[in-house]
Amino acid sequence: MRVLHVVDSVGVYGKERVILELMEQQARTGLEPMLGSITRTEEIKPILSAARARGLEGIVLVVRGPGDPLRMRGASAA
């Protein structure tokens, strides 16, 4: 089962560490966790870099305006 964790973050602090730990635990139990990092540009935020450094999958979710979340279904890995 795939599990998507979506977060808008500027660093790797408390909530980000919890998400990363949860993702690692989910992977150990056979789930397929993925991080969706919300950003206004194509930038790779620190939490996405941290997830990838731990061997976890993650994608950039570009949201430039209120209607963009409706178009996220077509998001691709960056």
Please indicate whether residue 74 or residue 35 has the higher confidence score (pLDDT).
Answer: 35
Whether the predicted pLDDT of 59 surpasses 60: yes
Q: What is the pLDDT of residues 2-18, one digit of tens each?
A: 999 999 999 999 999 99
What's the whole-model pTM score?
0.82
Burial readout 26-50 (b: 16 or more C-beta within 10 A, e: otherwise): bbeeeeebbbbbbbeeeeebebbeb
Distance of CA 72 to the CA centre of its chain: 13
Q: Are 37 and 31 in contact (CB under 8 A)?
A: no
Per-residue pLDDT, averaged over 41-49, amounts to 94
User: Once rounded to an integer, what is the mean pLDDT over residues 16-44?
Assistant: 96
